[in-house]
């Protein structure tokens, strides 16, 4: 039977045959409900009229900001059509579809600013386009991405910048266990991230970092759907490759970047 339009397919198999995708996660990153509530309270305090979410995924934080500020409008930009569709469904279910747009397009050179609040969590490189400015995570690339964010926020607005950082420099053994080609210059130290923000024309209102519990909840939730699917579909044609991918990801976390890679959330104010 041919799958209905709009359903994921792999080798002719429809959604019902495939592992579910990230349904256990409210946010696509290590972010607790409590911390998200603090962000929404802080960013909504000035009653922003416009919100821009760079690399929005399904835009959960943007939607919560729109709920907190009646009348505010938001634009989320991402390249993942599945995530964007999830964001539109969530917006419709919460009565926000007329105030939230989810656009499948590159963030590089985006015309959708300036906005009163700009969210960019784990998506700084998306602002620089192919090639960027040096290797991902280097000081020049981070400053360049932050300068683009500086151009996308209104005077007196706020940027929430989420960026990976090394809690300590990784050993060669840890790097070898991480993602393919992992290097020590893939990320900065936290102090360097903050210094990059000031070099790009911001003052740093607040710095928070994801804690171990948030990381564990995220990493477990990231794999939970597929783990459950694997337990019930051992003979499925996709089970072998899926199992290898999941086991490789878990080992990368536990043997590689656990307690080494951090995620910093910086609330930034543009210099006048």
Place of tokens 């209104």: 154
Instruction: Indicate the pTM of the whole model.
Output: 0.91
Q: What is the DSSP letter of 128?
A: T
For residue 12, count CB atoms less than 10 angstroms from its CB and return exposed for 0-12, middle for 13-18, buried for 19 or more: exposed
Please answer whether residues 44 and 10 qualify as being in contact, where contact means their C-beta atoms are separated by less than 8 angstroms. no
How far apart are alpha carbons 82 and 84 in whole angstroms? Answer: 5
Tens-binned pLDDT, residue by residue, of the chain (272 aa): 222 233 333 333 334 577 888 999 999 999 999 999 999 999 999 999 999 999 999 999 999 999 999 999 999 999 999 999 999 999 999 999 999 999 999 999 999 999 999 999 999 999 997 755 445 678 999 999 999 999 999 999 999 999 999 999 999 999 999 999 999 999 999 999 999 999 999 999 999 999 999 999 999 999 999 999 999 998 898 899 999 999 999 999 999 999 999 999 999 999 98
* Residue 166 three-state SS: strand
The per-residue pLDDT for 131 is 55
What DSSP character marks residue 13?
A: B
pLDDT value, residue 16: 53
CB 147 within 8 A of CB 170: no
Top-level class of domain 25-211+260-270: alpha beta
Q: Could you say which DSSP state residue 101 is in?
A: E
Q: Is 79 helix (H, G, I), strand (E, B) or coil?
A: coil
Query: Which DSSP category does 221 fall into?
Result: H
Q: What is the token pair recorded at 150?
A: 């500086």
Dig out the tokens for 119 from the structure: 């969210």
pLDDT number for residue 9:
33
CA distance 126 to 130: 8
Residue 100 CA: distances (Å) to CA of 39, 225, 227: 19, 28, 33
The pLDDT of residue 52: 98
Q: How many other CB atoms sit within 10 Å of the CB of residue 65?
A: 23
Q: Three-state DSSP class for 8? A: coil
Structure token pair of residue 22: 């990230």
């Amino acid at each position: 039977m041919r799958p209905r339009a709009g359903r994921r397919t792999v080798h002719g198999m429809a959604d019902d045959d495939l592992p579910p995708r990230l349904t256990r996660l409210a946010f696509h990153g290590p972010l607790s409900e409590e911390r998200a509530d603090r962000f929404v309270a802080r960013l909504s305090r000035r009653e922003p009229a416009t919100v821009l979410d760079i690399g929005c995924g399904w835009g959960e934080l943007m939607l919560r900001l729109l709920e907190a500020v009646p009348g505010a409008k938001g634009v989320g930009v991402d390249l993942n059509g599945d995530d964007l569709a999830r964001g539109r469904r969530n917006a419709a279910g919460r009565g926000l579809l007329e105030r939230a747009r989810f656009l499948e397009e590159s963030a590089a050179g985006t015309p959708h600013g300036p906005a009163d609040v700009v969210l960019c969590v784990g998506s700084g490189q998306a602002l620089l386009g192919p090639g960027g400015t040096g290797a991902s995570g280097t000081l020049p690339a981070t400053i360049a991405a932050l300068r683009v964010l500086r151009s996308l926020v209104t005077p007196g607005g706020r940027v929430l910048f989420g960026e990976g950082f090394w809690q300590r420099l990784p050993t060669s053994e840890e790097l070898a266990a991480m993602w393919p080609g992992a290097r020590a210059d893939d990320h900065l130290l936290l102090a360097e991230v903050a210094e990059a923000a000031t070099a790009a024309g911001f003052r740093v209102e607040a710095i928070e970092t994801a804690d171990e519990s948030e990381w564990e909840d995220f990493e477990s939730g990231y794999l939970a759907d597929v783990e459950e699917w694997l337990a019930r579909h051992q003979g499925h044609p996709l089970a072998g490759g899926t199992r290898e991918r999941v086991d490789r990801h878990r080992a990368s976390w536990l043997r590689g970047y656990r307690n080494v890679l951090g995620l910093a959330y910086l609330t930034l104010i543009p210099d006048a």
